[in-house]
Chain A
Amino acid sequence: MSPLTGKHERRLDQDLAGLPQSIEPRRDLWPGIAARLESGRVRPARRWAWQAAAAVLLVASSSIVTLQLVKSRVPAVADAPASAPVPSAMPAAFGPGHALDPEYLAAKEQLAEMLAQRVDAMPASARSKLAANLAELQRATAEINAALALQPGDPLLEELLLNAYQAELGVMANVNQLTRLNGTVNQTDSARIRL
């Protein structure tokens, strides 16, 4: 592209100066613009809801698959009461496009496996509550991830997500500890005790 010569530059200036400074629209466009702006404000929330729902579905399905895998590795205990499903490790990431550290995931998987082995030692009511609350944590994590998809790098969301991951680990570790303490102290197969 060749540079403009002085002659061309002057002519361009004249043409630009000849253009009207403002153009009145043939009709009042503002009501339409305002309506579109309003609908634009609502749209992110709707997208957010759809993405959250999709993420929850994804997490739920992956949890079921992981649970089946974990359960298949745990030897069945004869006469053990029927267990409520306990969701285990789910795919985790700090927002879209970020993968968590493999060591973190391995530690989490290990906790989930321990939990799957010990969960039968819990009273049935506590077991079902634990399952519901782990699912609640995973739903919360999926919800934050979906929000991060809309607002990548949001510090509030990243902090909440990090703490949600920690909370999930904390719950699994605490339940493992509580069941281990009682199991060790009493030296008994708690699954066979009528509680």
Chain B
Amino acid sequence: MSLLLRTPSPACGKPALAGLLGLLLFASSAALAGTSLNERRPAEPTGHVEVSNTAGTVSISGWDRREVEVTGELGKGAERLEFETSGKVTHVRVILPKKTRNVESSELVIRVPAGSSIAVNTVSADVQVRGVQGSQRLQTVSANIDTESAAEDVECKTVSGDVEIRGSGAPTLLTLTTVSGDATVDRVAGEVNANTVSGDFRLDLGAVSRSRLRSTSGDMSMSGQLTADARIDVEAISGDVRVDFDGPVNAEFDVSTFNGDIRNCFGPKPVRTSEYAPGRELRFREGPGSGRVRIKTLNGDVDVCRR
């Protein structure tokens, strides 16, 4: 910087100063930026792709080529990107050096054959998936998960991240687990199992054959159409439960709460389980009763209605 003070005249000094500052800025940003990624490997059309990234983002989309492409940026301080294919399995991993500080986020943009199955593990890297037809296993510690499900199984697990899943209406198996993260699920059909401690879950489902929902203090809202042999099992401790049914309802209902309220738009009124205890229960059959709906809470309120 001392050189700049010796610039002979202000008239020609200003452009020189600006140029030098620009150069310094470019040099410093280049030093701060990570490494650009642009690599491809051949892959099976229905292979398996495993991805791990600690912090940043992971964006995966399906395409019609028989190869996996990784673009984006490797964060400054990261050791390298491990990108290798062995048989049907492709690994994409951000490798961090041992015992290091201040590793910057890595942004991975990955394209995989649309028929691939994927497994993604991150700590705080958000995960987004589009157009992947195979099964998905998406796990984060604190990052959000945003995906689309097709007909294959989807499993999402996170501690505190939020989860958003859009289905195609085709039957599938969805397993969703959070500790405190909220979840929104739209148009997923088939079997949906969800667990949370304090997350609020809104599940707007298609035709549901099996569903097992568990919450401690989070609220659960589920809507969907029951298949003929549906088995719906919802349990909450202090969270509220709301279930809305689309179309004809054909099920036996067994609803009970120790200290909550039960409100229902059809069937008989709930009854007290004891003269001196606050418990209430509601048991009835709607239609032929081949399906089964079971809802249990300790303190949470229960609403059962048609939509």
Could you list which residues of chain A lie within 8 angstroms of chain B, going by C-beta atoms? 40-41, 44-45, 121-123, 125-126, 129-130, 132-133, 136-137, 140, 143-144, 147, 150-151, 154, 156-157, 159-160, 163-164, 167, 170-171, 174-175, 178-179, 181-182, 185-190, 192-195
The residue that A178 contacts in the complex, of B55, B157, B296, with Cβ under 8 A, is B157
Tally of A-B residue pairs with Cβ under 8 A? 151
* Residues of A contacting B217 in the complex (Cβ-Cβ under 8 angstroms): 136, 140
B139 at the interface (CB under 8 A from A): yes
Does A174 lie within 8 Å of B103, measured CB to CB?
Answer: no
CB contacts (< 8 Å) of A126 on chain B: these are: 124, 141-142, 159-160
* Residue B9 at the chain A interface, CB threshold 8 Å: no
Say whether chain A's binding surface is mostly helix, strand, loop, or mixed: helix
- Chain B contacts with A in 226-247, Cβ cutoff 8 A: 235, 237-238
Q: Can you list 15 A-B pairs with a CB-CB distance of less than 8 A?
A: A122-B123, A122-B141, A129-B159, A133-B180, A133-B216, A143-B298, A151-B274, A156-B296, A171-B197, A185-B52, A186-B93, A186-B96, A189-B98, A192-B100, A193-B54
Cβ contact within 8 Å between B179 and A175: yes
A178 adjacent to B100 (CB under 8 Å): no
Which residues of A have CB within 8 Å of B279?
156
B residues 176-226 touching A (CB-CB < 8 Å): 177, 179-180, 195, 197-198, 214, 216-217
Quote the shortest CB–CB distance from A51 to chain B (angstroms).
13
The 7 closest A-B CB pairs, nearest first, are: A126-B142, A133-B197, A188-B96, A140-B237, A185-B52, A129-B160, A129-B180
Known contacts A44-B276, A144-B237, A185-B52; decide if A178 and B159 are in contact (CB<8 Å): yes
Known: A133-B180, A133-B197, A147-B298. A167 touches B142 (CB 8 A): no
Residues of B within 8 A of A (CB-CB), count: 50
Identify the closest chain A residue to B91 (Cβ): A185
Residues of chain A with a CB closer than 8 A to B109's CB: none
How far is A41 from B101 in the complex, measured between Cα atoms in Å? 62
Closest to B140 in A: A178
The digit string for B254-267, where 1 denotes a CB below 8 A from any CB of A, is 00101100000000
Interchain CB contact under 8 A, A122 and B142 = yes
- B54:A190 contact, CB within 8 angstroms: yes
Q: Does A188 lie within 8 Å of B97, measured CB to CB?
A: yes
On whether the beta carbons of A192 and B216 are closer than 8 Å, the reply is no
Q: In the complex, are the beta carbons of B139 and A178 less than 8 A apart? A: yes
Chain A residues whose C-beta falls within 8 Å of the C-beta of B278 in the assembled complex? 45
Determine whether the beta carbon of B98 is less than 8 Å from that of A188. Answer: yes
Q: A122-B142, A126-B142, A156-B258 are in contact. Are A182 and B54 (CB under 8 A)?
A: yes
Q: How far is the CB of A162 from chain B (nearest CB, A)?
A: 11
Q: Which of B54, B103, B197 has the most CB of A within 10 A?
A: B197
Which residues in A have their C-beta under 8 angstroms from that of B140?
178
Q: Please judge, given known A-B contacts A130-B159, A143-B298, A192-B100, whether A136 and B142 are in contact too, CB under 8 Å.
A: no
User: Shortest distance in angstroms between B218's beta carbon and chain A's nearest beta carbon?
Assistant: 10
